Every structure is written in structure tokens, then in C-alpha cells.
A = this chain, B = another copy of it.
Amino acid sequence: MHQDLHMTTTRPAHTPLASLPTRFLSPTDVAALVRTRGLPVCLNELAEAIGNDFLRWPDFDKTARVAAHSEVGVIELMPIADTSQYAFKYVNGHPYNAQHGLPTVMAFGVLADVATGAPLLVSELTLTTALRTAATSAMAARTLARPDSRTMALIGNGAQSEFQALAFQHLVGTTQVRLFDVDPAATAKLVRNLAGSGLVVTACASTAEAVQGADIVTTVTADKTNATILSADMLAPGMHINAVGGDCPGKTELAADVLRAARVFVEYEPQTRLEGDLQQMPADFPVTELWRVLAGQASGRTRPEDITVFDSVGFALEDYSALRYLHAQAAALGLGQPLALIPALANPRDLYSLTRPAAVPAPTRTAVPELV
């Protein structure tokens, strides 16, 4: 990795390397990784990476994400670090973006070296967010759902729904999915994309119909309102609810009575109190952080008839895990391109040298060596 990718023409041959190259992964690169490894393998490896990092929970410098809200959406930054690496994600949530031909959720992120602050990786995270969210949901369900769970209701059939369906099929053992979305076109798209998956797929006319007979209910809707997608009368003993879409202030999916009837598990409690379906509940409403269940410090499901809720909002640690996974896989598979993000300077205190007319080449992108 020690190549001077950025400004080769300005560096005398004898000067030591002045910068690590930053690797860039586009959506095309990440899609190539998924096709090369296979989606089930990627989801499984991501779930393993995320689970292993959840077991290191106390090692991380954690903070609730920083959100900028507007009338039509939200833009968030999600930083996290341990003693060796720092990661952050930029992610938006704009439920009406389809009107502009844009995804509701778009994201990218960076992995950096704590020892120097140098960015190691800049990656697309739009596709990756769908992958890591589904992997996290499945990882939680393996701990919280009844082991004999086979049927999942999937409410909200948008951009993330295929990944949820396939993660639960391959990581949890789901064999049937029952679909509902307020927009039948979204459900039709999901039905098409799941054809050939081996899942038994049923399109339903309502949430109430979809949840009938479901062992697991996944809600992954996008509307930025306090909606009641799932009400207490739809619950059945032993159900596991994977609540993904209620993930920012003013955006909920579950009726408060659903939470009251259940044992509730969260990622990072301070963030979920603000953003999750939990935002409806009093500050002392009991919840358990998922990492404590994984680490054996708290119990998950205790009886087959328990109703469990994973009130997922998405936590920075999942993106840290995903960025590290992408970084390692990209190196192994030779994916990505170098990105000239940080100047390479013969003397790092001579930043001014960049601006001297004689010292700098024309601003055309010169040929750069491939990252290895």
C-alpha cells in the first residue's frame, strides 16, 4: 500500500513516501464484491464481523449520531472509533426522493487510521447499508427469535426489503415471506426479485393479513411520521419483531402497546431512546442492549411464548464493521481505485509548496498505479 499515488511528479525520487493512498470503492465495486462472494456469503460474513465487534463493545468510543433535520428529510453523520481505527458514515433519509429518481437512503463512509488520522478507505455505503442492516437484523434474530421460526412478514417492500428477506432465509432459516406495502408496485418488484430464491412468497392485502401466522415480523417502512404499522392486536405469542424503519425522531412504526407487551432489545441505548420506536416510551422503560445478550451478560428470549422486539435504528459500529470488511475484501480481490484525497508532500510542513506555480503539475489526472 505504500505508494505515492497522488502527486508523483512533484516528489523527488529519494523522498520517502509522504502519504498513504486512500482506496475508493464505488457502488459498482461493492456490487462486484457481492457477486464474486455471493450475497448469502457476504451477509453471513458481515453478520459475523458485526457480531464479533459487538462482543468488543466496551472497546469503542461511542456517540449518538449527529442529525440535521429538514422538512423533507434528515442527513446524519455516524462516527465511532477504537484505539486503532476510526470510521464514520454519511447517510440521508428522504422518503420522497423517488420523486427525484433518487434512493430514499444514500450513504458513503470512511475508514481511517487512529494513529495518524489518514483516511484509508472511502466507500459507497448505499448498497452496503442495506447489506449491514439486514445482516444485523438476522444476527439479532438468531439470538432473539424462536429457533423454529420459518415464516416472516415483511412490511415495507422498498430498497432494503430484498436484503432482509434473503438475510433471514440464509442466516435464520426463514422459508416463507408474507409481503405488504402501501404501494403494490413495491411489492410486485420484491416478488419479482425473490423469484428463484427458494422462498415461498405471498403478497398480502394488509399488514394484518401479512402478519397472520408469522413467526417474525420485519417492518422496514420509510415514511417520516409517527405511524402505527404494527398494533398490539396483531401480535401472537412467541413473535419476534424486527423493527427497522422507525429510526429517527418523529418516525416510528410500532404502537406503544407492542413495546409494552414485549421484551425490547436495542443497539446503543442513548441513541435508540432518541430515534427508535422507544422514543414513545418513558425514559425508564426497560430495554437490553443486544451486545449484552451476545456476550452472555443478559438474557435474550427466555420462553417460547415471549414476544421480542429488536428496535433497530442502525448504529455506527455496524458501519465500522462493514467498512473494515469492505477494506479487507477489496484488498483481497483487487477492487477499487486510488483516490487523491490527501496531499503527498516532500516536507509535510511545507503545505504552501502545493500552491507555488513551478512546483505543481497541471490538474489533469495522471495515470496512477493500481492498488494492490
Contact = CB atoms under 8 A, between A and B. Distances in A.
A109 B16 CA distance: 27
A254 to B, nearest CB: 23
Nearest to A27: B343
B6 A28 contact: yes
Contact of A31 (B81, B102, B116, B360): B360
Contact of A79 (B72, B77, B104, B186): B77
B68 A92 contact: no
A242 interface: no
A40 to B, nearest CB: 11
Nearest to A345: B103
Contact of A355 (B34, B63, B342, B351): B34
B103 A341 contact: no
Given A31-B355, A97-B348, A90 B75 contact: no
A118 B28 CA distance: 18
B349 A186 contact: yes
A117 interface: yes
Contacts of A350: 159, 189, 193
A94 interface: yes
Contacts of A73: 114-117
A17 B88 CA distance: 28
Nearest to A64: B66
A337 interface: yes
Interface string A60-98: 010100101110111101010101001010101110011
B351 A112 contact: no
Contact of A352 (B17, B101, B193): B193
A276 interface: no
Interface string A275-287: 0000000000000
How many copies the complex holds: the figure is 2
Interface stretch (A47-55, A119-127, A172-180): A119-127
A73 to B, nearest CB: 6
**Residue among A100, A116, A158 facing the most chain B CB atoms (10 A cut-off):** A116
A106 B124 CA distance: 21
Contact of A7 (B28, B77, B342): B28
A184 interface: no
A199 interface: no
A110 interface: yes
Given A112-B75, A360-B32, A26 B341 contact: yes
A189 B360 contact: no
A63 B66 contact: yes
Contact of A102 (B18, B39, B69, B110): B18
Contacts of A106: 117-119, 342
8 contacts: A7-B27, A27-B343, A31-B363, A66-B77, A90-B110, A122-B122, A126-B342, A162-B352
Given A35-B360, A158-B349, 7 more contacts: A29-B363, A90-B110, A90-B119, A92-B117, A124-B340, A126-B351, A337-B365
